[in-house]
């Protein structure tokens, strides 16, 4: 099934991206600490680390959705079992997909408004670029919820044991 291949490919990409973000934050932070001990520093380090941390949070949330460890309202699902529970999971994942897609759209619109301000975060980095982390993060979450709903739906349709 192609959705499983996409899921595996995305999982690897997200994991590599997470490691790259974390190593970048550690490297920049370490360099900043060392340089500050010599009364020097990297002017942009704190700002970049802040935005990398924010991005790291979104990637972590996407991986949590993939693993099923995300925050969700599942009080009802705790008392359900079998195909009915899986059917409710599909519905909740589809609702989450729509909500995060709408959030992606609205936060993208906000980034476009920020673009019209023509301000800069650093010397040559427009201030709207870091805001794009938010709609991209919500779009990634939406895609993850859609994949999760699709995989759960295939289990419901095939009547596999849960």
- Please state the pTM of the whole predicted model: 0.81
The whole domain housing 32 covers: 2-158
The rounded percent of the chain whose pLDDT value lies above 90 is: 31
Burial label for 31, CB within 10 Å (0-12, 13-18, 19+), is middle
* Mean pLDDT value across residues 133-151: 92
pLDDT given for residue 117 in this prediction:
79
Question: Mean pLDDT score of the chain, rounded to an integer?
Answer: 84
Q: How many domains does the chain have?
A: 1
* Mean pLDDT value across residues 4-29: 90
């Amino acid at each position: 099934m192609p959705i499983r291949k996409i899921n595996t490919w995305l999982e690897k990409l997200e994991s590599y991206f997470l490691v790259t973000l974390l190593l970048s934050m550690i490297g920049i932070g370490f360099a900043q600490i060392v340089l500050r001990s010599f009364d020097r520093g990297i002017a942009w380090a704190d700002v970049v680390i802040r935005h990398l941390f924010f991005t790291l949070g979104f990637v972590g949330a996407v991986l949590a959705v993939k693993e099923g460890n995300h925050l969700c309202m599942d009080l009802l699902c705790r008392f359900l079992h079998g195909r009915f529970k899986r059917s409710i999971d599909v519905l909740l994942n589809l609702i989450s997909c729509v909500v995060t897609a709408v959030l992606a759209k609205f936060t993208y619109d906000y980034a476009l408004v920020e673009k019209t301000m023509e301000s800069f975060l650093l010397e040559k980095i427009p201030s709207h670029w870091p805001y794009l982390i938010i709609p991209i993060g919500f779009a990634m979450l939406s895609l993850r919820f859609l994949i999760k709903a699709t995989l759960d739906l295939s289990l419901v349709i095939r009547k596999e044991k849960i």
